[in-house]
Amino acid sequence: MIPAGRHSRQERFAPIGASGQAKIAASTAVVVGCGALGTVAAEQLARAGIGRLRLIDRDLVEPSNLQRQSLFSEADAAACRPKAEAASARLQQIAAGVIIEPLVADAQPSNVAALIAGAQVVIDGADNFPTRHLVNEACCRAGIPFAVGACVGAYGLSLTVLPGVTACLRCVQSELPAAGDGPTCDTQGIIAPAVHLVAAWQVAEALKILVGDLGAVRRELWAGDLWSNRFQRISLTKAKDPSCLVCGRQATFPLLTAGDDPAVVLCGRDAIQVRCGPVNLETLGKTLGNTVMISSEHLVRWQADGITGTCFRDGRVLVQGVSTPAAARGFCARWLG
């Protein structure tokens, strides 16, 4: 039940109005990645009265997140809560009328279509370019608009993909940056205002899409640096590439058709992610005995030989304290079989 007048100021904004508000309330948005951009965007969408919000994140809340990831508290970090769950709990306090679907999951070629299914818009909250491009492919194939955003340091950028209409992310960035090539929040740091700038650009675009005002959707890439005060607007009206591998006439969807990543070095954490088969967390908690540090309905964390493993219900294991995927796989094989 949504209290009367809750969205009155937004309805009074002429381009939205009562009819636009009704469309927003009947819509589903998916936020892929519930870190800095994802939490800020999700809060704005929940407050705007979105009908359904699916939050996807694979990671846990840590103390270093709290400076910019606006839905999380120190208690969430102390409890190592999954970000999707912690964000969902906070959003239900803010806007109880919104249906929130938290999914503790990692977007991969095998599951990304299901993760975004049913959405009218997808918000990019990914912390790496391979995931961003994977979601771009899934959105283009499914015909779902995609509000792209990225930020690091004091810098951020944003563009909007309307499949079949505008350039897609791959048209603009035909080669994926190699791992370790680009700056990350770990190497360059980040300030919260850059996050809010980019999330605002993304959610404004999402609202235009949800109310059906596609003519107002921005056909430019916007980038800005809040510290050096440099801003760029790059027209994308001629950027759509007919030979694009994702949105061109002979699209091959190179990332969607590749296999899932067996091991991933995670940005923002000193961790390597390994995939094991489905697990029974209750049994695992008992098997690992006195090495267990945390055992909850979401995860089991254990520590041995100076290495920490965190196993999730979907079979992913984050391994901290090793330097190579092979060492991470070895640790999992030793303890999980």
247 near Zn ion, judged by CB under 5 A: yes
Phi, psi for 268 (deg, rounded to 5): 85, 0
Q: In what order do the strands lie in the sheet with 299-304?
A: 263-265, 271-275, 316-320, 307-312, 299-304, 292-295
Question: Under DSSP, is residue 87 helix (H, G, I), strand (E, B) or coil?
Answer: helix
Residue of 83, 170, 301, 329 that binds Zn ion (CB under 5 A): 170
Residue 229 is which amino acid? Answer: N
What CA–CA distance (Å, rounded) separates 91 from 93?
5
| Closest to Zn ion by CB, 200 or 239 | 239
Shortest distance (Å) from residue 246 CB to Zn ion: 5
Region of 48-56, 66-74, 246-254, 263-271 interacting with Zn ion (CB under 5 A): 246-254
Residue 71: Cβ-neighbour burial (10 angstroms; 0-12, 13-18, 19+): buried
Region of 20-28, 101-109, 242-250, 307-315 interacting with Zn ion (CB under 5 A): 242-250
Which residue among 185, 244, 247, 311 is the active-site one? 185
Residue of 161, 244, 266, 328 that binds Zn ion (CB under 5 A): 244
Taking CB under 5 A as the rule, which mask of x and - marks residues 262-291 in contact with Zn ion? ------------------------------
Shortest distance (Å) from residue 106 CB to Zn ion: 24
Region of 55-63, 85-93, 184-192, 245-253 interacting with Zn ion (CB under 5 A): 245-253
What CA–CA distance (Å, rounded) separates 3 from 72?
25
Residue of 56, 103, 171, 271 that binds Zn ion (CB under 5 A): 171
176's CB contacts (< 8 A; 6+ apart) are 129, 130, 133
Question: Under DSSP, is residue 290 helix (H, G, I), strand (E, B) or coil?
Answer: helix
Catalytic-residue membership of 185:
yes
246 near Zn ion, judged by CB under 5 A: yes
**Residues annotated catalytic, as ranges:** 185
Residues of this chain that interact with Zn ion (CB under 5 A) are 168, 170-171, 244, 246-247
